[in-house]
Structure 1
Amino acid sequence: MNLSKKQAEKLVKDCINNNRTAQEALYKLFHAEMLRVCYNYLPDKELAKEAFNTGFLKVFQSIKNFDNEKGGLGGWIRKIMIYTAIDLCRKELKFNVKNLDEQDSDDYFISPSVLEKLYFEDILKNIRTLPFATQTVFNLSVLDGFTHKEIGEQLNISEGTSRWHLAEAKRKLRELLEALATNNNLPKERSEKAK
């Protein structure tokens, strides 16, 4: 969100003072963006809403700790939402601990020619078909840039398990998206637009 430093400071100060109007303004300002963050980690809508609500409760409980000098208000709230979603994942998931000696490749895992034929919604829909643990690791690594060490610490899994889940996510997504990109698998109206 595009808040100036002064606007953010005033909003935070009013929230600290339990100004309900300011709290409502903060909630409305970041509602859509933070709900999307929760949906990225928790494809089940009810769990995502639970993480979102718990995350905003944490925001209001710890707003006095926000430091405008260390970063923007949106980034601070996003971090709380991510960690809240991870905490909920940790409670909801049972990770299959796997040891993997495979190297994690930094090369692109889906051909650009395949990606050109897909819509964002297609990609997101297929990410959400991944097993819950694999999807969570994929989101943390690819979407949010966490290292395997950080992912392991957040999810209480080994770095090797994190690498396995990422490799598995890439493998499955490659298969799903390459199949979808063929003209036979595109929805009819998209196939016709492509002609």
Structure 2
Amino acid sequence: MDLTKEQSDKLIKGCINNDRTAQETLYKLFHSEMLRVCYSYLPDKELAKEAFNTGFLKVFQSIKNFEQGKGALGGWIRKIMIFTAIDLCRKELKFNTTGIDNQELDDHFIPASALEKLYFEDILKQIRTLPLATQTVFNLAVLDGFTHKEIGEQLNISEGTSRWHLAEAKRKLRDLLEPSAKPTKERSEITK
């Protein structure tokens, strides 16, 4: 969601002053996008909604700390949502702390030709099959661009553990997605 500087300033000022109209406007502007962010980290819809609502409460409580020149308002809200979702599911995360030293990291993920034949829903469905810890690291690294150091700090794991989970996610997704990348009869008929 792109806001002009004037729109952003007005919303921020209104939210700082507890103006319910400004808060409602901000909430409505970012509702669907931020709910999707929470859902990408929490496969349970109720937990995702809980993280979303808690995240927005944090947004309204700390909006006075948002610094205009240091990024977009949407990006700032997104980070709050990600961290809130991670906090909520942290108790459920089971991290494999096996060292990555003896394992090869596979830079080759999934061939573009395979991905072209998939729908977003197919990919999301396969990501959901990963163990929650591996899924969380994958989302942070691939979808949201966090470094292994940042992931480690956020999840209280080592950078090596983060790397292992990302490599494991890529390996499992490659195994899951490559066979399903073959077009089905129904999809083949749609593209004709």
Q: What's the offset of the Cα at 1:91?
A: 2.5
CA 154–135 in structure 1, closer or farther in 2 if over 3 Å, else same: same
Corresponding residue for 1:29? Answer: 29
Corresponding residue for 1:141? Answer: 141
Relative to the length of structure 1, the TM-score reads 0.92
Runs (5+) with no aligned partner, structure 1: none
- CA offsets 1:30-72 (integer angstroms, 9 cap, x no match): 0011111111111111111111111000000001111112111
Corresponding residue for 1:193? Answer: 190
- CA offsets 1:64-97 (integer angstroms, 9 cap, x no match): 1111121111111111111111211212323232
Distance in 1 between the 2:175 and 2:79 partners?
32
Q: Larger deviation: 5-14 or 84-93?
A: 84-93
Distance in 1 between the 2:140 and 2:105 partners?
15
Q: What's the offset of the Cα at 1:3?
A: 1.0
Corresponding residue for 1:39? Answer: 39
Q: What's the offset of the Cα at 1:194?
A: 4.6
Corresponding residue for 1:104? Answer: 105
RMSD: 1.4
- Secondary structure in 1 matching 2:99: coil
Corresponding residue for 1:181? Answer: 181
Question: What is the percentage of aligned positions where both structures have the same residue?
Answer: 80
Distance in 2 between the 1:131 and 1:88 partners?
16
**How is 1:37-76 mapped onto 2 (pairs within 5 angstroms)?**
37-76=37-76
Q: After TM superposition, what 4+ stretches of structure 1 lie above 3 angstroms from structure 2? A: none
Runs (5+) with no aligned partner, structure 2: none
User: Contact between 2:134 and 2:168, CA under 8 Å: does it hold in 1?
Assistant: yes
The residue type paired with residue 7 of structure 2 is: Q
User: Contact between 2:94 and 2:132, CA under 8 Å: does it hold in 1?
Assistant: no
